[in-house]
Amino acid sequence: MTEPTRRLLLVHAHPDDESINNGATMARYAAEGARVTLVTCTLGERGEVIPPELRHLTGAALGEHRLRELTAAMAELGVEDFRLLGGPGHYTDSGMMGLPDNEDPACFWQADVEEAAGRLAEVILEVRPQVLVTYDDNGGYGHPDHIQAHRVAMRAAELAAERGWEIPKVYWNRVPRSVGEAAFARLEGDLSALPFSKAGALDDVPGVVADERVTTEIDGTAYAGAKAAAMRAHATQIEVAQPYFALSNELAQPLFTTEYYELVRGRAGAPRENDLFAGLGAGEAS
């Protein structure tokens, strides 16, 4: 079988992060024949469960359930290559920043970055992606596992380059502030018809930045249904009322189907790209 010419690698902290942040992007590129590889760093064993009938799930049992949710979500997005860093349960959820959970020696926050990055570098050398997508250095919103995923992903890219595969383009997940403000303004008008009693705030959305920092927007409106279905598959964590959703805090927020990125390494294909692979030369696509 011929290897796909375009290869995209995404690194996320927990099951559901990928669908919320990049679901439309993943579905689009998978449908277009690119190889889309997802590496998830933990199973989200400390996530808060929304449905009452599933609230008995905690720890490893919740992690096992969330892996099944991830599998279902990837089927909705058409993504066949998804992996847990080090294997299922190798790194566990660290909980929210500042909690005693952060001190658990088994949690991802306590992982040795070089060791974890070495594991991810092996995936990079196998897949040879031209594009890597992950979080910024604050993990988008300060969660320890998101911050650690950023550190591990960026270091893994360096290690892989030292061993022969330099990823041509590296992106961080973003939301332009003007887009977020407009979406929350629409939400206020729609809130009375939604199953959520309150709206969240733009500051609750990970990766919001000034518009000029955004280099790339991926129009995924044709894959809005796939993204919403993938998010619904993560039923322990997300309640969807398209085009909105809520997490366990029950605060409504927009479900973005155009997804935005900041190019932090590599050459932009245009002043405002509409393709993560834009500008790649023939040699970079081999």
Q: Which residues are annotated as a binding site?
A: 14, 17, 146
Dist CA 271 CA 273 (whole Å): 6
Dist CA 131 CA 7 (whole Å): 7
Residue 140 is given by DSSP the state T
Annotated binding site for Zn(2+): 14, 17, 146
Dist CA 36 CA 38 (whole Å): 7
Residue 216: strand pairing partners: 261, 273
Strands 198-199 and 251-254: parallel
**Closest to 63 in 3D by CA, of 39, 97, 40:** 40
Strands 35-40 and 7-12: parallel
What DSSP assignment string belongs to 166-224?
A: --SEEEEEEEEHHHHHHHHHHHHHHGGGSS-SEE--GGGSTTEE-GGG--EEEE-GGGH
The token duo for 275 is 């393709």
Task: Please name the residues in contact with 80: beta carbons below 8 A apart, sequence gap of 6 or more.
Answer: 74
